[in-house]
Amino acid sequence: MNKTIKWIGGLVIILVVIVLITSQQSGQTNITEPIKIGVITPLTGDYSIVGEEVQKGIELAVSQLGKQGVKISVVCEDDQLDPKNTVTAANKLITIDKVDFVVVFSVEEAKPIFSLFNNAKIPLLVLFDSNNAIKSAGPYIFSNGFSTEKTGELMADYAFNTLKLKKIAIVSHVDEWSKIITESFKNKFIDDGGVVVYNDSVQIGTSDFRSIILKIKNAKPDGIYFPLIPFDAIDFIKQINQYNISVPMLSGDGLFQSIIDAVGKLSDNIYYTNGYLENSDLLQLYKSKYQKYPDTLLFVASGYDGILKVGKSLSSSKNIKTIFDNIFGLVKTADRIEKIYRVESGKSIEVK
């Protein structure tokens, strides 16, 4: 009898071990443990305004999901939008915190860590950007963002066919997002029949654009496209006006409200592309929790929408990778297209 009991006990232990190993290998989540999400975003430094709002959006989503019985714990890491810090944060979340999946705000943050997440077989979700680089990055890389390429094409088409611009000058950043959106804008504008009379890129942190502006003025464009990331656009807009260049100016989603406020009336009649809200209740949710309105609601929305979309599909013993595959499908991205806005008296008005 004792031998039989020992044999049965040993068999039970073996079965438990097999179940645990299988669960770990398949990406399943322990029934009793909350889903652990890693967040990499700039919480200090020049771009902290972005990271802080993203983090608050995630907090709001986790709170909403908690009311629905979905348990989520969050581990936040500050990368200051520096690739080296992003890699360090990613390694920590994967090896030490052992998160179930990780979110980042932008393609700039995602690109240096694509291979880390594919090798670890842990999903990485880009909250705001979506582009071909993400689509081809590997089976564990996903996006809930707006298509960079399609957004650039949208603005090019609007510039040529609606604003009737034929000659464009382009100033961009040496930056992943700026490079992608510039190329898509340029190619579409040329395909439509337009001409790019000047095209240059500058390092992030550039504050003196005077030599570039003189070259733009000499090229005599009838429009300027400047997809600069914050906050260099402030100096560019001010200096363009100092040289009395009065042609339509177009930009990307790096032109958010803080920049518009900083340049005041100089921003009037600038056209730019930007995302839109999926949840009309988000503003009041934010106000209720933080007792103020957000600086940039879209940054909040990127964190809120991404976590909420995944969180609603979470359940006990569910394979995390399968959840992502089911939500985003074969293309692995939401691929939404931004809208076009025009600034009037410091306010953004949707025009397309």
- 346 and 223 in a single domain? The answer is yes
- State residue 98 phi and psi, 5-degree precision: 50, 55
CATH number, domain with residue 162: 3.40.50.2300
Q: Higher model confidence: residue 33 or residue 182?
A: 182
Its pTM stands at 0.85
Residue 69 has pLDDT above 80, yes or no: yes
- 63 and 137 in a single domain? The answer is yes
Mean pLDDT of all residues in 260-280: 91
- 185 and 258 in a single domain? The answer is yes
- 119 and 140 in a single domain? The answer is yes
For the stretch 6-40, pLDDT in tens is 444 444 444 444 444 444 444 444 445 789 999 99
| Burial of residue 342, with CB atoms counted within 10 A of its CB: 0-12 exposed, 13-18 middle, 19 or more buried | middle
Whole-number pLDDT of residue 17:
42
Q: What's the number of CA atoms in the CB half-sphere (13 Å) around residue 122?
A: 22
- 345 and 213 in a single domain? The answer is yes
- 182 and 260 in a single domain? The answer is yes
CA torsion 106-141-125-48 (nearest 10°) is -30
3-state secondary structure of 59: helix
* Span between the terminal Cα atoms of the chain, in Å: 80
CA distance 237 to 244: 11
Domain that holds residue 182: 149-275+339-350
Q: Report yes or no on 123 lying in a domain.
A: yes
In whole angstroms, what separates CA 169 from the centre of its chain?
Answer: 26
Mean pLDDT of all residues in 74-92: 97
Q: Report yes or no on 2 lying in a domain.
A: no
Please count the structural domains in the chain: 2
Mean pLDDT of all residues in 258-276: 94
Per-residue H/E/C for 189-255:
HHHHCCEEEEEEEECCCCCCCHHHHHHHHHHCCCEEECCCCCCHHHHHHHHHHHCCCCCCEEECCCC
Tell which residue, 271, 249, 252, 241, has the closest CA to residue 168: 249
Percent of the chain clearing pLDDT 70 (strictly above): 90
- 122 and 201 in a single domain? The answer is no
- 92 and 184 in a single domain? The answer is no
Whole-number pLDDT of residue 30:
42
